[in-house]
Amino acid sequence: MKGLRSVVALLLGLGAWGAHAADIDSVQLLDQSQFRLLSEDLGAALSYKPLTPAEPLGLTGFDIGVAVTGTKLRNTAVFDRATRSGNFPDYVPVPTLRAYKGLPFGIDVGLMAGMVPNSNVRFYGGELRYALLSGNVALPAIAIRGSYTKLSGVSQLDFDTKGIDLSISKGVLNFTPYGGVGHVWVSSTPNGVAGLNKETFGLNKVFVGINFNMLLMNLAVEADRTGDATSFGVKLGVRF
């Protein structure tokens, strides 16, 4: 219930975000340790969030929707320093557009693009997923996923994430609970900022969620822990 309340609060707070968001445009004010903390929080917020169960869509399957994820920043003071306005809230909402397509042999591919409202943070990414087990009435689905995201719009940062995870799901009537564990590799390079060096590091990842499907309508709710930061997300769309 706590996770569900967090998702509702995230959606209600999205409209008010414009009064608080800011461009990341003052990275030169950070020292190396602060730059590392900024990169860790960005890695948690902008790394790939599945928002889909492990079972493959099949050759004719599609999953198309809009999503909002929100990450609770661990280092808001660092973000305040890295922005000219100096006013970042604790939770960063990230709306995204998402599309998944089933391919032969238990393979699915997914693409997404998103942004932080009223800021210069834009990003895009995708996933390639292979079902080790497709799942049936008796057995769960098990899948391995590779993912990638790339930051754009922030001229002072060259930033991307690469991830791998193993997930499991099992449908019960119209509900499909799912979960997984994985690892995210973050690469964060300052552009044109003297005195700061590139940061590369890894973050452990764990996530759980539930997918609800009724006819074509699809709803997914997910909680994610990447590194030390917690994210909640919700996706609404069509799945067939």
pLDDT at 42: 97
Written as six digits, the tokens of 118 are 């009223």
Distance between CA atoms of 69 and 203, rounded to whole angstroms? Answer: 18
pLDDT at 65: 97
In CATH, what class is 2-239?
A: mainly beta
pLDDT at 87: 73
What does pTM read for this prediction? Answer: 0.90
First to last CA, the chain: 28
Average pLDDT per block of 10 residues along the chain, 240 residues long = 49 48 89 98 97 96 97 93 81 95 97 94 97 94 98 96 98 96 98 94 98 95 97 96
Written as six digits, the tokens of 229 are 């930061």
Distance between CA atoms of 30 and 38, rounded to whole angstroms? Answer: 9
For residue 67, how far is the Cα from the chain centroid?
Answer: 10
Parse the chain into domains and list their residue ranges: 2-239
For residue 66, how far is the Cα from the chain centroid?
Answer: 13
Task: Tell me the chain's radius of gyration from C-alpha atoms.
Answer: 18
12's CB contacts (< 8 A; 6+ apart) are none
What is the bridge-based pairing of β-strands 141-152 and 157-169? antiparallel
Distance between CA atoms of 56 and 237, rounded to whole angstroms? Answer: 17
Residues in the chain: 240
